[in-house]
């Protein structure tokens, strides 16, 4: 085991974020810690493993980070890897890409691997009850200008957004706080995808903050 110590920061102020929840996941392990009043966290994790960290705090956008767990602090310095994490304040205009929410091609059906992402979105809405958000759906359709997309493609991007909308609605989030919209292929992260991973990332859903009550 190795002790990992870092800080969750607000990039706009440079200050630490207190009481942020960090959940560490690997194939065989799950552990959660909270930051102290200065934004500092400390956790013991299996050495020489790759861990995914999901980070959330009230008033901030959620974030995830892939971390390699090294055996000593000196190795983090050697490889120029920081255990520190930044969370942007949740305010109008900010958006978060659900990076691990993937869909079957040409369908509004989540891949099994994506299901753990949904509770993360739910918690974000629960700890930020004043947020009004848009759930934005996107498809992967390179080589065709958005103006030439058919009705079916635009509806597909809307139905993907609706998957997340319906999940939140079923779990107690008011429909008055949410809207959903399909953007077709007008905002692909990779307009010319070079591999299946980039195609998957084009087939995505985003959470966009519209306003704060």
DSSP secondary structure string for all residues of 147-199: GG--HHHHHHHHHHHHHHHHHHHHTT--GGGEEEEE-TTTT-S-SS--SHHHH
Per-residue pLDDT band for 197 (boundaries 50, 70, 90) equals confident
What pLDDT digit, counting tens, does each position of 50-70 carry? 888 999 999 999 998 888 887
Residue 1 has pLDDT above 90, yes or no: no
Per-residue pLDDT band for 39 (boundaries 50, 70, 90) equals very high
What is the pTM (predicted TM-score) of this model?
0.86
- All structural domains of the chain, each given as residue ranges with its CATH number in brackets, are 2-86 (2.60.40.1120), 95-212 (3.30.1330.60)
Which residue's structure tokens are 């493609």?
153
Q: Would you state the structure tokens that stand for residue 173, as one six-digit string? A: 């989030």
Per-residue pLDDT band for 76 (boundaries 50, 70, 90) equals low
Residues 119-133, mean pLDDT to the nearest whole number: 94
- Position 178 scores a pLDDT of 96
Which residue's structure tokens are 């299946």?
196
Residues 109-125, mean pLDDT to the nearest whole number: 89
What span, in angstroms and rounded, lies between the C-alpha atoms of 52 and 44? 14
Residue 36 has pLDDT above 90, yes or no: yes
- Position 85 scores a pLDDT of 93
What span, in angstroms and rounded, lies between the C-alpha atoms of 190 and 63? 21
- Position 38 scores a pLDDT of 96
Per-residue pLDDT band for 34 (boundaries 50, 70, 90) equals very high
Q: How far is CA 90 from the centre of its chain?
A: 13
What average pLDDT does the structure give for the chain?
A: 89
Residues 6+ apart with CB under 8 A from 19: 34, 35, 57, 58
What span, in angstroms and rounded, lies between the C-alpha atoms of 1 and 24? 14
What span, in angstroms and rounded, lies between the C-alpha atoms of 48 and 207? 33
What pLDDT digit, counting tens, does each position of 136-145 carry? 999 888 878 8
- Position 11 scores a pLDDT of 95
């Amino acid at each position: 085991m190795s002790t990992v110590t870092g800080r969750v920061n607000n990039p706009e102020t440079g200050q630490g974020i207190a009481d942020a929840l960090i959940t560490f996941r690997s194939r065989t392990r799950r552990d959660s810690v909270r930051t102290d009043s200065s934004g500092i966290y400390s956790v013991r994790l299996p050495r020489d493993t790759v861990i995914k960290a999901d980070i959330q705090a009230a008033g901030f956008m959620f974030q995830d980070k892939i971390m390699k767990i090294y055996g000593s602090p000196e190795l983090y310095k050697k490889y120029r890897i920081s255990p520190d994490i930044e969370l942007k304040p949740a305010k109008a205009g900010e958006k978060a890409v659900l990076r691990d929410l993937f869909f079957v091609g040409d369908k509004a059906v989540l891949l099994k691997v994506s299901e753990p992402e949904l509770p993360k979105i739910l918690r974000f809405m629960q700890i930020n009850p004043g947020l009004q958000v848009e759930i934005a759906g996107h498809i992967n359709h390179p080589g065709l200008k958005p103006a030439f997309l058919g009705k079916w493609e635009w509806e597909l991007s809307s139905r993907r957004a609706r998957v997340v909308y319906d999940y939140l609605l079923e779990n107690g989030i008011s429909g008055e706080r949410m809207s959903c919209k399909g953007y077709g292929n007008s905002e692909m992260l990779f307009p010319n995808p070079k591999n299946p991973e980039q195609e998957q990332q084009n087939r995505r859903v985003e959470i966009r903050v519209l306003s704060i009550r």
